Amino acid sequence: MAGRIPLVLLACGSFNPITHQHMRLFELARDHMHQTGVYRVVAGIVSPVGDDYGKQGLVASKHRLAMARLALQSSDWVSVDDWESQQADWTETVVTMRYHYNRIAAQYHNSKNLPTSSDAPQLKLLCGADFMDTFKVPDLWRDDHVEEVVGRFGLVCVSRGSLQPDRAIHESDLLSRHQQNVFLVREWVHNEISATEVRRALRRGQSVKYLLPDSVIDYIKEHNLYTHNSETKNKDSSDDVITWRDIASKFAMMARNSRGGETVSITEKNKEFTSNRIKMPVVAILSEQTHSSVECLKMTADYNGYWKMISNENFEEYLKALDVNVAIRKIATLLKPDKDITQNGDHFIIKTLSTFRNYNMDFVVGEEFEEDLSGVDDRKCMTTITWDGDKLVCVQKGEIEGRGWTHWIERDELHLVGQFSCISFVMWYSLPGMIVLHRAATYQK
């Protein structure tokens, strides 16, 4: 590692409480940065946010710090820093970064026994993909702050669930400009531990063993930390009142599973935003110009996952009516194709996978496209998929009238009905165990 740039990774967040996955972020990021061949990660810092952050259920920073310290006893390179949480007011992330950068640089310059060739350490922000998604929430981050975070310092971002951080970069001019300073780390072992879900389990008296270190679980029990009462901390007294910070945290939590749509009007009142109409679950984005309206992203069904077919009715009849030849029909009805669905807002990639043939659809809800059904019945259609509530409804205009399909989710099953005229088929899919856990952890209310 000689000659490499020393790097310190800083993670800012609530850590309410710290989980195994927070600590995994550091390990994943260190491996990734070492693989660049450029960096040598010398330290990691966990910086819990101050109590003034005002996020629902945020317990006192002295407890969050104590839990993080207990958890990180097993790490020989990541430590907890209390500077941020000791500040009188909530501290913007870039301010915390500047503080740590200056501190590290001063230590470096004061060090007597540095090899002359040694580079000054760099500092980069370590975060999950949901954190990076919050950059696009108007009024939440100042542009010059994002510019400084990614341009001057740099970002190491670990994938989270189905969020696609490369898309967030592509869609942001600012992030694209500094792309070389944004390092995306792919977590192949899907691990959707979320502090919110941990608190929920604790409130319900359910086990959180193996999600948190035992020492942290003991600390929580000893101090009776996560109760129904603690969760109401910072909760708005009226369901109708939302603050921008509230919006931010809801955004971070829900952006993983949302689609755009509803606009509701909001009136300004004592620097808070009051709505008559907003009901959870929603995500609101403050309007940049007027602060007088918010756009709401309504949380809808989550189609993400690798779905296994569990049953199939009438598919052969359907193919027969489409004039598909008997050989293909026989093969198709014997197969149990899986559906690999990636959903990012209204953008869907649905892969139908089987040992015989694969069929991919890549579409944005509401946008018509030409669909080439080669390998199915070899026809072409002009296809549009729209939302009907939580259902995805597809209309395939072409030679055959009334052709289309509908997908929807009931409990943890994916349903598909395909039809044209009066012929239809029905298929059911379920998620294998791991993914069900992942979904439950991420998206259940």
Ligand X SMILES: Nc1ncnc2c1ncn2[C@@H]1O[C@H](COP(=O)(O)OP(=O)(O)OP(=O)(O)O)[C@@H](O)[C@H]1O
Residue 63, contacted partner among ligand NMN, ligand X, none, CB below 5-8 A by kind: none
**Which parts of 183-202 interact with ligand X (CB under 6 A)?**
191-196
| Closer to ligand NMN by Cβ: residue 93 or 257 | 93
Spatial separation of the C-alpha atoms in residues 259 and 428, rounded to whole Å: 24
Least gap, CB of 234 to ligand X (angstroms):
12
Helix (H) or strand (E) holding 109: helix 93-110
- Residue 284 binding ligand NMN, by CB under 6 A: no
Say if CB 234 and CB 56 are below 8 A apart: yes
Least gap, CB of 116 to ligand NMN (angstroms):
37
Spatial separation of the C-alpha atoms in residues 266 and 132, rounded to whole Å: 26
| Closer to ligand X by Cβ: residue 17 or 418 | 17
Residue 92, contacted partner among ligand NMN, ligand X, none, CB below 5-8 A by kind: ligand NMN
Count other Cβ atoms within 10 Å, centred on residue 302.
Answer: 19
Spatial separation of the C-alpha atoms in residues 378 and 383, rounded to whole Å: 15
What distances in angstroms separate CA 89 from CA 144, 174, 309, 405, one per listed residue? 20, 28, 53, 53
Considering only residues 252, 301, 385, 394, which one is a binding residue for ligand NMN as defined by CB under 6 A? 252
Residue 25, contacted partner among ligand X, ligand NMN, none, CB below 5-8 A by kind: ligand X
Locate the DSSP E strands across 147-304: 155-158, 182-185, 241-242, 258-259, 263-265, 267-269, 272-274, 282-286, 293-299
Considering only residues 8, 9, 12, 78, which one is a binding residue for ligand NMN as defined by CB under 6 A? 12
Residue 441, contacted partner among ligand NMN, ligand X, none, CB below 5-8 A by kind: none
Say if CB 306 and CB 431 are below 8 A apart: yes
Stretch near ligand NMN under the rule CB under 6 A, chosen from 22-30, 137-145, 261-269, 304-312: 137-145
| Closer to ligand NMN by Cβ: residue 95 or 434 | 95
Considering only residues 11, 41, 211, 301, which one is a binding residue for ligand X as defined by CB under 6 A? 11
Say if CB 229 and CB 219 are below 8 A apart: no
Residue 377, contacted partner among ligand X, ligand NMN, none, CB below 5-8 A by kind: none
- Residue 8 binding ligand X, by CB under 6 A: no
Residue 65, contacted partner among ligand X, ligand NMN, none, CB below 5-8 A by kind: none
Residue with token string 């369901």: 239
> Sheet harboring 267-269: ordered strands across?
241-242, 272-274, 267-269
Q: What's the token pair of residue 64?
A: 């969050």
Stretch near ligand NMN under the rule CB under 6 A, chosen from 91-99, 208-216, 302-310, 326-334: 91-99
User: Which residue ranges make up the site for ligand X (CB under 6 A)?
Assistant: 11, 13-15, 21-22, 25, 127-128, 130-131, 158, 160, 191-196, 252-253
